[in-house]
């Protein structure tokens, strides 16, 4: 969701511009920057405890997320559905609460309480490396998020998790969702860049493959709870299909600093 990160290299100046969601990067996909599963599970546990209800809150969070993924991919392929992820999340929440499994919780939650619970997606906590890594990258490159999240969701999330984007690109602005090619190309166009000079940083292989299909470079950051069943993702140098694999944004920042002839960002 959150952020896709995009890197751009100017070959003459030998500089990189980082387009984040994220985001990505840009975008930096936001799921590469925030721990949605831990954050949503924690909020569900709090709500359950408040009403004296026990349940498999991790499963609830996973089901909620799965509904989002299924809907955004269907709409990206031309299907019908809401353009706002806030609306989508709210509809999925209603569907979950209609199941017999969550009947007890459904009976406790008023419409207002459901609206408030739905806003948990605006308050996702960042991964430990996200904020320091993004601030280091921001020192001399553009960082932006390219996410399926709607604009207000991404703004609130950035403030909550201290994600210092230079700009925010929401798929909502392009009236579709990733992996629709026009979302990636739209973000690139608004930054006056060419796809071949940009790289997407994300925690989802499907996202990176879609970016590569329109000519973008790709950087993969593995995150716990993302890309279940995909297996180990390797760089092209290791026989895989992404350009670079890093374990954190801090590692990516260090690689960028080394590329610029410094041992660290402290030597700027």
Q: Residue 28: beta bridge partners?
A: 4, 145
Report the alpha-carbon distance of residue 136 to residue 254 in Å, rounded: 9
Q: Which domain holds residue 165?
A: 6-35+125-267
**What is the pLDDT at residue 109?**
99
Listed residues 106, 122, 138: the one ending a domain: 122
pLDDT for res 12: 30
Both 12 and 139 in a single domain?
Answer: yes
Please name the residue that has the structure tokens 């499963």.
59
Residue 1 and residue 161: Cα distance in Å, rounded?
Answer: 14
CATH code assigned at 49? 1.10.150
Q: What is the pTM of this model?
A: 0.87
* The predicted structure's pLDDT at residue 140: 67
Looking at the 3D structure of the chain, how many domains does it have? Answer: 2
Domain shared by 118 and 137, yes or no: no
Shared domain check, 216 and 198: yes
Same domain, 99 and 169: no
Same domain, 256 and 211: yes
Q: Which of 78, 101, 122 is the last residue of a domain?
A: 122
Per-residue pLDDT 10s for the chain (268 aa) are: 333 444 444 323 333 433 333 333 445 666 789 999 999 999 999 999 999 999 999 999 999 999 999 999 999 999 999 999 999 999 999 999 999 999 999 999 999 999 999 999 999 999 999 999 999 988 867 889 999 999 999 999 999 999 999 999 999 999 999 999 999 999 999 999 888 888 899 999 999 999 999 999 999 999 988 987 788 899 999 999 999 999 999 999 888 777 666 555 444 3
Question: So what's the pLDDT on residue 33?
Answer: 94
pLDDT at residue number 172: 96
Angle of CA points 234, 213, 237, to nearest 5° = 25
Instruction: Provide the 3-class DSSP secondary structure of residue 75.
Output: helix
Q: Which of 44, 50, 37 is nearest to 102 (CA)?
A: 44
Contact 90, 67 (CB under 8 A): no
Q: Please report whether residue 1 resides in a domain.
A: no
* Residue ending a domain, choose from 97, 122, 147: 122
Q: Quick one: pLDDT at residue 86?
A: 99
Tokens, residue 90: 């709210």
Comparing CA positions, the residue from 89, 69, 2, 116 lying closest to residue 228 is 69
Q: Which of these, 108, 23, 97, lies nearest to 64 by C-alpha position? A: 97
Find the CATH number of the domain harbouring 151: 3.40.50.1000
Same domain, yes or no: 73 and 109: yes
The answer to whether residues 80 and 186 belong to one domain is no
């Amino acid at each position: 969701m959150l952020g896709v990160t995009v890197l751009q290299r100017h070959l003459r100046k030998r500089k990189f511009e980082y387009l984040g969601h994220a985001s990505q990067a840009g975008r930096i996909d936001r799921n590469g920057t925030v721990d949605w599963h831990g954050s949503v599970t924690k909020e569900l546990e709090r709500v359950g405890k408040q009403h004296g209800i026990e349940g498999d809150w991790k499963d609830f969070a996973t089901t909620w997320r799965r509904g989002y993924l299924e809907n955004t991919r269907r709409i990206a392929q031309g299907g019908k559905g809401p353009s706002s992820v806030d609306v989508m999340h709210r509809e999925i929440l209603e569907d979950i609460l209609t199941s017999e499994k969550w009947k007890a919780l459904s009976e406790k939650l008023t419409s207002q309480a459901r609206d408030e619970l739905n806003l948990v997606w605006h308050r996702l906590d960042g991964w430990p490396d996200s904020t320091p890594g993004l601030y280091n990258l921001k020192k001399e490159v553009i960082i932006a998020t390219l996410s399926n999240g709607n604009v207000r969701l991404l703004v609130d999330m950035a403030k909550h998790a201290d994600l210092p984007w230079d700009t925010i690109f929401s798929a909502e602005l392009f009236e579709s969702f990733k992996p629709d090619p026009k979302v990636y190309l739209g973000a690139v166009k608004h930054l006056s860049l060419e796809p071949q000079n940009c790289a997407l940083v994300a925690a989802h292989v499907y996202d990176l493959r879609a970016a590569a299909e329109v000519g973008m470079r790709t950087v993969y950051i593995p995150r716990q709870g993302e890309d279940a069943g995909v297996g180990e993702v390797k760089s092209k140098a290791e026989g895989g299909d992404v350009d670079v694999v890093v374990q954190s944004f801090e590692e990516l920042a260090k690689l960028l600093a080394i590329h610029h002839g410094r041992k660290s960002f402290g030597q700027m």
